[in-house]
Amino acid sequence: MLLKQNNEYIHSIQNYVQAFEKNSFRHIASNDFSKWPSPLEETWRLSRLGKLTRKKIEPIHSDFKKNIRIKAKIKNAICLSFVDGAYREDLSDELPVGISLHQLNEKECLSFLSKIKKTNLANHPSTNSSLSCTPSIIKINVDAHFSSNRLIEIIYSGGMDNKSVHPVLYIELKKSSNLSIVERFNHSGTLIMPLQLIEIGELASLKSVKIFDDNKTTYNLSAHSVILSDKSNYNSFSLIKGSEFTRSETHAEFKGQHATMNLNGVYISGGDQHHDLTTAIYHNHPNCTSKQIVRGVLGGESTGVFQGKVRVAPDAQKTDGQQMSKVILVSDKASANAKPELEIYADDVVCAHGATVGELDDDELFYLNSRGIPLDKAREILIIAFLEDIITQSVDLSLQDFIFTEAKVGLLSILK
């Protein structure tokens, strides 16, 4: 039965692409999606998709007339809206001079497919299914030397029961440009499969925040590929708090020297939620720095996963790669898995990783309780401080209150 239902979804994707030319990028991508990842695959062993594969799902056909809008939450932000995976110009703000947005034509889509297939996301289920079923591939191009104090807030919404949604976004920053984006995932469908490619040019900088807050019955399998050039910078923070199952997977490759990256994240899980932050960083050039800090708070019968891989190539001398994962369990039935991994082929490097999983400190709880603070409130204070520490390290001051409020809402929902 499991195999049959696996094939049913694959068959539904094959039916979807029949409306397009045989040599289109959609047909090429659909040929590479023949099965779901197996729990025997090491990178999926801790995040099994058995329950998902037993669902009957079909790709959604986007309704460009659907009147839906989730309002921007950030003051003065430029809002871009994706509904059912499709970019909606009628629901989006105008971009400033220096940033352009357009839908890729067939030739450009084939080029995009070729780029993705050269990354380590080539066989990710979101890569092949979303390139088969996306309404369109949208590219945001940032001109050289562009800089603005206004950030872009991208809102992904829509979805339906028993449907899969496939937004695909390509962001390219030219030389010496700077951009700040906040992406919010607020779907209500069964399966969401975002795919994203980011190319950061020489001396360019991207600050990115992702907030995963989909409906509690949703599966979100997000795949991101980031390519950094000489002296570029990528600062990323992810907050996962919604959905039944969210896996945010990021692969980042240094293709130039003296580039830096922070790839931090928080997951807040309760009930029977499963949240997974998986990263792979490839240091292929010398004098680059990557740092990852991940923190989790788990309640109910939830499970959390951090998988972080740092690979240092033989020529990537003077690499600095750091990973640290810390998890607090607020329930005896919750569980966490941490799998940091170093793969080093150079000898002049500074690399380290670590992971801790535990409960709140009894002495700290006793101290607060002895000062007249009720035990439940004391627990909340300590966990908030635990999260506030990474938020202040990871995002700009102007966004810290917003991110902290979003995190606190998720936290209070699992402490009830």
Q: Which residues contact 177 (CB under 8 A, 6 or more apart)?
A: 98, 142, 143, 144, 145, 146, 147, 201, 204, 205
Average pLDDT, the chain: 92
**Beta partners for residue 266, in sequence order:** 239, 295
**Beta partners for residue 224, in sequence order:** 196, 250
CB 168 within 8 A of CB 127: no
User: What share of the chain in percent tops pLDDT 90?
Assistant: 78
Q: What is the per-residue pLDDT across 124-179, written as a single tens digit (0 to 9) for each?
A: 999 999 999 999 999 999 999 999 989 999 999 999 999 999 999 999 999 999 99
| Most confident option among 122-126, 158-162, 227-231, 359-363 | 227-231
Torsion of the alpha carbons at 253, 255, 258 and 260, rounded to the nearest 10: -20
Please report the pLDDT score of residue 374 as a whole number. Answer: 85
Phi, psi of 332 (to 5 degrees): -65, -20
Please report the pLDDT score of residue 35 as a whole number. Answer: 87
Q: What is the per-residue pLDDT across 68-93, written as a single tens digit (0 to 9) for each?
A: 777 788 989 999 999 999 999 999 99
Six-digit token string for 302: 């939830």
Pairing label, strands 303-312, 274-283: parallel
DSSP secondary structure letters along 367-411: HHHHTT--HHHHHHHHHHHHHHHHHHHHS-HHHHHHHHHHHHHHH
Return the minimum-mean-pLDDT range out of 224-238, 275-289, 317-331, 372-386. Answer: 372-386
Please report the pLDDT score of residue 377 as a whole number. Answer: 87
Cβ neighbour number for residue 126 with a 10 Å cutoff: 25
Query: Domain map of the chain by residue range?
Result: 2-256
Give CA separation, 195 vs 113, 170, 303, 335, in Å: 11, 9, 24, 28
Torsion of the alpha carbons at 356, 44, 250 and 74, rounded to the nearest 10: -80
Mean pLDDT, residues 191-209 taken together: 97
Residue 6's pLDDT band (boundaries 50, 70, 90)? low
Q: What is the per-residue pLDDT across 324-348, written as a single tens digit (0 to 9) for each?
A: 999 999 999 999 999 999 999 999 9
SS3 96: coil
Q: Which residues contact 315 (CB under 8 A, 6 or more apart)?
A: 284, 285, 286, 346
Q: Which residue has 């084939």 as its token pair?
A: 110
pTM of the model: 0.94
Mean pLDDT, residues 192-208 taken together: 97
Mean pLDDT, residues 248-268 taken together: 97
Pairing label, strands 349-358, 319-329: parallel
- Which amino acid is located at 119 in the chain? T
